[in-house]
Amino acid sequence: MLLALFSDIHANRQAFSACLETARARGAERFIFLGDFVGYGGDPEWTVETAIRLIADGAVAVRGNHDQAIGTPSETMNAEAQAAIEWTRDRLSAGQRRFLAELPFALEEEDRLYVHSEASQPARWRYVQGAPDAARSMIATKAHVTFCGHIHKPTLYSMSATAKMTSFVPVMGVPINLLRGRQWLAVLGSVGQPRDRNPAAAFALYDTATREITFCRVPYDVEAAAQRIRDVGLPLWLAERLFQGR
Amino acid sequence: MLATAIQPGLVIDGFTIGECVHSGGMATLWNVTHPDIAAPLLMKIPRVSEGEDPAAIVSFEMEQMILPRLKGVHVPAFFGAGDFARQAYVVIDVIPGRTLYRRLPDLPLPYEEARVLGVKIASALAELHRQNVIHHDVKPSSIMFRDSGEAVLIDYGLSFHNQLPDLLQEEFRVPYGTAPYMAPERLVGVRDDPRSDLFALGVLLYFFTTGVRPFGETETLSGMRRRLWRDPHPPRKLRPDYPLWLQEMVLRCLEIEPMHRYPTASQLAFDLAHPDQVKLTARAERIRRDSWLTVWRRRLNASQLRLERKVDVAAQLAASPIVAVAIDTVEGTDQLNDALRLTAARILSTLPSARLACINVLKLGRITIDRTLDEQGHNKHVDRLVALKHWATPLRLDESRLTVHVLEAIDPAAAILDFARANHVDHIIIGAHGGSFVRSLLGNVSAKVASEAPCTVTVVRPRAVAEGAAAEEGNRQAGAAAN
């Protein structure tokens, strides 16, 4: 089965739509959402509504720290993120807020683990910033491959049977066979707020039969997404950074 | 694991095990058959039992990742793989014959034979590098030859793929590979420079033409590190009759700094294929190694090799193309030839590692017996070479970046296409044919080249010529109307 994995959509309707369309065109049969549906972007209602509909059709989702902050305000967020959360909270219906609050921290499916931040302590929202963080996550799970997001920069880590690590910045569109002899941690780029200096929306495809992961980038209407952020009165930097991919 | 239980008659994923044809330190090789595959097949099974070198596992994983991606005549064809969950193996086609290792008792080889081997191996490396793979274990036992003559590179256990995770990244504290062939930059942890393979091929050519390994057979890390500052004895010191062109090429491959080697395997293959056109530098005639002062300076600066980061395999190849420009010295107008030169200059100016091959086709008649001398007794071939050099003079290219070639052929388009294929040409520049009656009878050379070339083709048409043709067309119509 071909899975399409989305992380950190952040209420960016234009990016989310573009990725959905591309994933469907490439034959995706099931959607996996790795959290952070909201925050930063200007279209939280549409984004959450679309996710709820896709989940009713068989998609699965886990909770991100921004999703959690809607119901449980976080003290560690910066001012801009905090402002977006406050604004988002008022836009969402009670049902939508409940949907976000009830998302699980992690989900296991066959030999795969889905989690927003990393596997060792999903509720602590730690970033995977390098091989040691990745190793901590992989040691904490038996899953052959863990899919996560949170840091908005795509990286693929592996750990051999003798605990040797590799890290790799994936090349767009090149399938990589996740060999069975080692564990893998696929950190996905962000759909709605890329931070790897490439403004194109990021998602990944994973073929469960061949164990091949393909990191994808999709150009989308950044101008429209940025304009929406400005129109609703969110901090201007949240619009500006979309153009820069940072 | 199961590796020890492998025996003839066992069936793994439809492959029936036959005879064991090789039992090495890292893997065993078995003949296998499959009901759906006609080609003779070979199954490679890594040794992964308890206590074995973990390198065997990682090397096998790397090979398992890379082999299915490779294409073409210079690599083994891939037919299947199994992983460690059940039985690890890869299945490839049987390449008949033996590896180049079997030639070791015959060394040193005649220069010409070594040159031809060099062309074949460099061509195979060029093809591999174009597929984003650095072999990292080029040595006689990794090289075989197909019946059709092409070199095949085998064993990808130490290879690096520019678009895949490098599983050997942190695996070994010391560089892993075959000591005599290992490039200096490998010793400081660089794994992403395709010019490391050119160094290894330089070692092989040196060894095959002198019978001596340029850096000895040392296996110790300190012994290997000497090549970071100590250059080998020039081959001419060992064999006074060593051809200058060959020493030029071999020593260029063995340069300590990758940037002083050939920029690409294609360019090395090109020089090996045209030894008479190699630009000789001070390297060619040396009979002594560098002075102690030079060596000492290098030793102090040895750590700097590490600083030249990071190489992108594909980007480096793209920056060092072989450009071929087809010049018609006889019928081509000055205007067209000027336009071709301008186009070539534009392309070369952005790519300092690019090289230019100027080609001209000396057309032979289909029936007539051709003479190499014209009515005045001039040698046509030499005249054309002179004309090509004259055409190229205003480009002011360093001689090492320029070659001239006169191809004798009945079909000019086919000759240009053959040249491009044989010499790994990345870009052909050719003039558009005029609209004349004679040209249309001859057939449209540029159109055929553009449609059949294995690479990018730029068809150059000077604007004024196009307007002239339109005007001519207008005149013809006017004439028809008058009639």
Q: Which of these three, B58, B93, B128, is where a domain ends?
A: B93
pLDDT for position A240: 97
pLDDT for position B86: 78
Same domain, B162 and B121: yes
pLDDT in tens, B246-271: 999 999 999 999 999 999 999 999 99
The verdict on a CB contact (< 8 Å) between B165 and A182 is no
- Closest residue in chain B to residue A173, using alpha carbons only: B163
Query: Residue A134: CB partners within 8 Å, gap ≥ 6?
Result: A118, A128, A155, A157, A159, A165, A167, A185, A187
Residue B406 lies in a domain: yes
Residue B38, min C-alpha distance to chain A (Å): 25
Q: Residue B453: which CATH number?
A: 3.40.50.620
Q: How many domains is chain B built from?
A: 3
Residue B137 lies in a domain: yes
Tokens at B102, concatenated: 């079997």
pLDDT for position B47: 80
Same domain, B427 and B359: yes
CA neighbours within 13 Å on the CB side: how many for B160?
26
CATH topology of domain A2-244: Purple Acid Phosphatase; chain A, domain 2 (3.60.21)
Full-model pTM: 0.87
Residue A123 pLDDT level (bands cut at 50, 70, 90) = very high
| AA identity, residue B260 | H
Same domain, B178 and B252: yes
Q: Which of B160, B162, B205, B157 is nearest to B181 (CA)?
A: B205
Same domain, B122 and B260: yes
Query: How far is Cα of residue A3 from the mean position of the Cα atoms in its chain?
Result: 14
Residue B29 lies in a domain: yes
Same domain, B70 and B142: no
Q: Which of B245, B271, B196, B248 is nearest to B423 (CA)?
A: B271
- B409-440: buried (b, 16+ CB within 10 Å) or exposed (e) per residue? eebbbbbbbebbeebbbbbbbbbbbbeeeeee
Q: Residue B78: which CATH number?
A: 3.30.200.20
The verdict on a CB contact (< 8 Å) between A168 and B166 is yes
Same domain, B89 and B151: no
Residue B2 lies in a domain: no
Residue B332 lies in a domain: yes
Q: Which of these three, B93, B108, B124, is where a domain ends?
A: B93
Residues of chain B predicted below pLDDT 70:
1-4, 49-53, 171-174, 303-311, 366-378, 434-443, 464-483
Same domain, B179 and B261: yes
pLDDT in tens, B302-343: 766 654 556 677 888 888 999 999 998 777 788 899 999 999
pLDDT for position B150: 95
Same domain, B191 and B262: yes
- Asked if A162 is an interface residue toward chain B (Cβ–Cβ < 8 A), one would say yes
Residue B193 lies in a domain: yes
Same domain, B227 and B111: yes
The SS3 of residue A77 is coil
Q: Which of A124, A101, A165 is nearest to B58 (CA)?
A: A165
Residue B4 lies in a domain: no
For residue A98, how many other CB atoms are within 10 A of its CB? 12
Domain membership of residue B392 as a residue range? 321-471
The verdict on a CB contact (< 8 Å) between B65 and A179 is yes
Same domain, B82 and B157: no
Same domain, B283 and B375: no
- Closest residue in chain A to residue B168, using alpha carbons only: A166
pLDDT in tens, A132-182: 999 999 999 999 999 999 999 999 999 988 888 999 999 999 999 999 889
Same domain, B192 and B280: yes
Q: How far apart are CA A239 and CA B422, in angstroms?
A: 53
Q: Residue B196: which CATH number?
A: 1.10.510.10
pLDDT in tens, B379-436: 888 888 999 999 999 999 988 899 999 998 889 999 999 999 999 999 999 998 765 5
Residue B3 lies in a domain: no
pLDDT for position B478: 40
Q: Which of these three, B292, B314, B336, is where a domain ends?
A: B314
